[in-house]
Structures are given as C-alpha cells and as structure tokens.
Structure 1
Amino acid sequence: MDIRQAIFQRLHACSSSELKEIIESGIASKEETVLPGLGVLFETYYNSLSSKDELLDSLSHLLK
C-alpha cells in the first residue's frame, strides 16, 4: 500500500470536524512525519479545483 492509499484509508468517512481535528493537531505537533499526509490532502484538494488561480494567488501572498 502506498502513502496515498494509506492516508485515504485512514481518513475514509471522517466528518469535517474529525478532519479539522486531525489537520490541526498534525500542524500543532510540528512533527515532520505529518507533512506527507498533509501533502496528500493538499494534492487531492489542488487537483479537484476547476480554477487554481485563487489558491495560487493566496499561497503566493503568504510566501512574500
């Protein structure tokens, strides 16, 4: 099983509040082991967008 499959299997059927808790606790832990999982979620979200411009503009502003 690859990391993407493992992430989706772990998060399958999570409610939005459960997902929020998982993401926020992962970020708060500052553990680098969480980064691949967050990256998989970001990749999935990014790929689902019909227009990526707004997200890219927001990220660009955060990086300035």
Structure 2
Amino acid sequence: MMNLNLRNAIIHNVSGNNQSQLKDTIVDAIERGEEKMLPGLGVLFEVIWQHADDQEKTMMLETLEDGLK
C-alpha cells in the first residue's frame, strides 16, 4: 500500500506540468544523484512505458541496451 501511495504522490506532484517543467524535474533528479530521487524517476518511466507504442518501446529498449554496454 505504501508503494501505491508513493506512486500516486509522485504523479500528483507532476500532473499538469509542461514539457519544460518535466524536463527540469528529470534533469534535476539525475544531476543530484540522490537515491531518494530514484522512485520518482521510476514512476515517470512507468508512465512513459505505459503510453508508448511497440515501436517506441523497442527504441527505448535499444537505447537502454546501448547505454548499458
């Protein structure tokens, strides 16, 4: 139940944000490198994944695979 509340809180905090605000949130989380920011990035990725078509998912997986080489 705690995870669901965290997920909902993260989504609530960024709902209605424009692309610039979303980018700032992502860049800030990555640049800070704080462990506590990882769940938020995970939730944002979950939203992206859920709304991506198969081609977009393949592209993300290829990018991820290349980045992990």
Structure number with the bigger relative contact order (C-alpha 8 A, sep ≥ 6) is: 1
Bigger helix fraction? 2
Partner of residue 58, structure 1 = 63
**With structure 2 as the length reference, what TM-score do the two structures score?**
0.84
CA distance in structure 2 between the partners assigned to 1:23 and 1:5 by the alignment: 17
Post-superposition Cα deviations, 1:1-59, rounded to whole Å, max 9, x if no partner, equal: 61111011100111111111111111111110000000000011112111121111111
CA distance in structure 1 between the partners assigned to 2:21 and 2:58 by the alignment: 28
**With structure 1 as the length reference, what TM-score do the two structures score?**
0.89
How many residues in Structure 1 have an aligned counterpart in Structure 2? 64
The one of 31, 36, 39 aligned to 2:34: 31
Partner of residue 4, structure 1 = 7
Taking every aligned residue pair, what percent have the same amino acid on both sides?
38
